[in-house]
Structure 1
Amino acid sequence: MKRGFGRSVRRFGRNDIKRRYGVGSAKDKDRLRSNLRRLTICITVVIIILLLKNMNFSYAQRATSGIKSVITTEYNLKERFTALRDTVPVIKNSIMRVFGTGDSPGLMIMPVQGEITSGYGKRTHPVFKVESKHEGIDIAAPVGQPVKAALPGVVVEAGPHSEFGNVVVIEHSAGLRTLYGHLDQLRVEEGQQVSRGQTIGTVGNTGLSTGSHLHFEVWRNGRPVDPAHELDLGLIGT
């Protein structure tokens, strides 16, 4: 029995194993490398998602959603590498916006608590009844409710405006400006330094307005941008 077992081993050598199972072929080596790459990507994605899950910020949640779409769609190595490459800067920028840097003012808070009743972009003007671009958002709130500075900065305008009634404009770092319109009372003056969350006025119905609300604009490098993309909608100034 022992001699027979030894003979069978000698007959069934390395070449027989390669021939029967295909081990060692160039095709199988490529397949192994491909599977290892996929495994590495999956592990990396899982780690990133776990890290983002611990960050209770809307930007982190958006980045998490982007990564989830990478691993829930049909797998294509080249496309997934591209998607991950595009997602990493988003995560980096989100972290920079949340914690701030030497050039960034940090997280932008909601200036007032309330429902966004009119978004950024084209709309029918509530007074003139013509289609025009709305360069900010409208947040419904009762007259007298405190309005907070979304970021620290310097007040560059505080007074009456032909369209927005009583208005406050604050200049921040990184090329940002914020505008707060239709205010009832002003609590700041031009040239004054303000901190994030500081009360700068109260909600009103001044100017071309059809009801009490805050008109809020964000400008970046001289151009209006959608405030909904800049704000952490879950964080209200206190």
Structure 2
Amino acid sequence: MPPAGPAPDAQLAAQLTARRAVGAAAGLAVHVAALDWQGIADELNAHGYAVIPGLLTADECASLAALYAQPQLFRSRVVMSQHGFGSGEYQYFRYPLPSLIAALRQALYDPLAQIANRWHELMDLPERFPADHADFLARCHAAGQQRPTPLLLQYSAGDYNCLHQDLYGDHVFPLQACILLSQPGTDFDGGEFVLTEQRPRMQSRVEVVPLKRGDMVIFAVNHRPVQGTRGIYRVNLRHGVSRLRAGARHTLGIIFHDAN
């Protein structure tokens, strides 16, 4: 029998050690490239989302959450209650993005573009996505979508985020990512990440996605293909956050299209 491979925890520890050796941003790109992208694609195809555990370290999560208090890094701040979005607030980063966030956005885009192109083919949608994120952003910017969309979200006790879709313009990349920067049960209680799926002529299906600090969830922005008895059909998805019962919660959102 072939020797057993390293246990998942040991493999993750080795990846994080290697990442520290070459620097956080460059190491994170290598880490992302080494993920099981076939397994991630399978989860996305089956459920509309996939969880990647422990993508960021506790120190990286704390450093990113601390950016919220540096207003010079952001182009705008949104108080959700003022717009009927829920309760809590978030801030959109300005360009240039912090190096770790820029590296993560670039590294995730390439493998996700392959999945996105397959989804659009199955759903008979005409748009295809270039392999390099810079080329896709050039397409967005030429159409007037020039404002960066990565964001930090901040919740306190009683806050929540209504179900929504992050569209922002005509050019929409069909997948996005979210990383939990706080530890459930220690930093906060409640505040679960929630997805709903609206199927044609059927009631909505709800999925509560369990996340720990440093975990990333990749999910469909607005719709995904599903195999039915009469072929492929589209289901619409929305996402949100349930009410925070105690504590404070920070989240990093990675959206690949820019806003108009």
TM value normalised by structure 2: 0.21
Higher-Rg structure is: 1
TM value normalised by structure 1: 0.23
